[in-house]
Amino acid sequence: MIGELSETRYWMYLLLLPSLLLITAVVLYPTIYGIQMSFREMRLNRPDLGTGFVGLKHYQRMLNDPIFWLSLRNTAVWVTFAIILEFLIGLIAALALHRNLPGSRIFAVMILLPFFLPNVVAGHMWSLMLDPRLGVINDLLLKAGLIDSYRAWFADPATAMAAAILVEAWKSFPFFTLLILAGLKGIPTDLYKAASIDGAGPVAQLRLITLPMIKTIIAAAVILRVIGLVNSPDLLLVLTSGGPGRSTMVLSLFAFQTAYRDFNFGYASALSVVMFILLMIFAWIYIRLSRINQE
């Protein structure tokens, strides 16, 4: 019977069935469950309200919620500046490592170290290093004459987001370094030799050869990091908890607090669905603009 079945066009569907079941169980079901929760009343500490269908109630609330709009704006700032910094530092580090200078292997390991640290550990470490009483960073800046007294970086709304972005960039730039370095290894050296003969300097070579050749890798890395930055509240949770005030409140942190402080899983799910849609739109626009799927 199996022999006969394997000759039919249904055989390939049968072979795909285990994978489909697995994907349904671990991807589709949780996603659909999360989406349907956003249309329900789901407050764990208010069982008296039930879990009935509430339509677009949570989405309507979101439109009138100033914390949502503030979090959306902060998310844009957080993601944009963190990505720019991470990309630039990652690119410089990758170019330096690609030159195979003496000690490159040791530097490669050292550069990758921050990426291996859990966010919570990195957060607490930087929280201590930037501490307004005992922080070594304040001490160094004071000795260098860049500040005139110890600063409370995370207590001042003018510096809290910037300080958190710097910590995030330090933590995650190795991700770009790793991917860009892999891309650099794949560029034929002949291209550089030919460009050099044609009189192209290092900057022109970077602009006309290196960056176009690793464009696909950069696009993939940016999309992955944007997803990571939008979805992960842990670093900001440790560093600022969204404060002072709500000056570092981002969407993921707002959704986390709504779920696990207010126990309002319905509204938190609606926030998550909006983040999901925003990320899909971003990825679509970014891929179209970078034209990576036309090559």
Partner 1 sequence: MTSTLSRRRLLQTGAGVAGATALMPHWAMAQQAAINYWHTFTSQSEFSGLEAVMASFHASFPDIRVTQENIPNPEFMAKVTAAVVANSRPDVTMVASERFADLHAMGALIDLTDRLNSWDRRGDFDDARFASITDADGRIYGLPAFAFVPWMYYRKDWFDAEGLSAPTTYAEFEEAAIAVTDASQNRYGFSMRGGAGGQSFVIDVMESFGAPIVSNGEIGLNRDAAVEAVDWYAGLLTRHGAVPSSAPNDGFRQIMEAFQTGQTGMIWHHTGSFQDMASFLEPGVEFATAVMPAGPAARVARLGYAFNSLTSEANADAAWEWISYWGEPDAAVALLGATGYFPASSVAAADPRIAGDPLYAPASETLGFGGPPPSFPGYAGWSETSVMPLFQAVLIGQLTPEQAVDQMIDALEEAIR
Residues that bind partner 1 (CB under 8 A): 44-47, 131-134, 149-150, 152, 154-157, 160, 237, 240-247, 249, 256-263
State the Cα–Cα distance between residues 161 and 74, nearest whole angstrom: 9
Instruction: Indicate the burial class of 234 (C-beta count within 10 angstroms; 0-12, 13-18, 19 or more).
Output: middle
**Least separation, in Å, of the C-beta of 43 and partner 1?**
8
Q: Closer CB to partner 1, residue 130 or residue 221?
A: 130
Taking the CA of residue 169 as centre, how many other CA atoms within 13 Å lie in the half-sphere pointing to its CB? 21
**Least separation, in Å, of the C-beta of 45 and partner 1?**
4
Rounded (5°) CA angle 108-110-115: 95
State the Cα–Cα distance between residues 182 and 73, nearest whole angstrom: 34
Task: Name the residue among 70, 20, 48, 86 with its Cα closest to residue 243.
Answer: 70
Helices 265-290 and 29-37, axial angle in degrees (round to 10): 120
DSSP string, 68-101: HHHHHHHHHHHHHHHHHHHHHHHHHHHHHHHT--
Instruction: Report the chain's terminal Cα–Cα distance, integer Å.
Output: 45
Q: Closer CB to partner 1, residue 169 or residue 238?
A: 238
**Unique residue bearing structure tokens 């550990």:** 121
Q: Closer CB to partner 1, residue 71 or residue 210?
A: 71
146, 126 contact by CB (below 8 A): no
Q: Closer CB to partner 1, residue 40 or residue 225?
A: 40
**Least separation, in Å, of the C-beta of 193 and partner 1?**
54
**Least separation, in Å, of the C-beta of 157 and partner 1?**
5
Q: Closer CB to partner 1, residue 47 or residue 102?
A: 47
Q: Closer CB to partner 1, residue 67 or residue 208?
A: 67
Q: Closer CB to partner 1, residue 9 or residue 133?
A: 133
**Least separation, in Å, of the C-beta of 108 and partner 1?**
34
**Least separation, in Å, of the C-beta of 63 and partner 1?**
15
Cα-trace Rg, the chain:
24
**Least separation, in Å, of the C-beta of 50 and partner 1?**
13
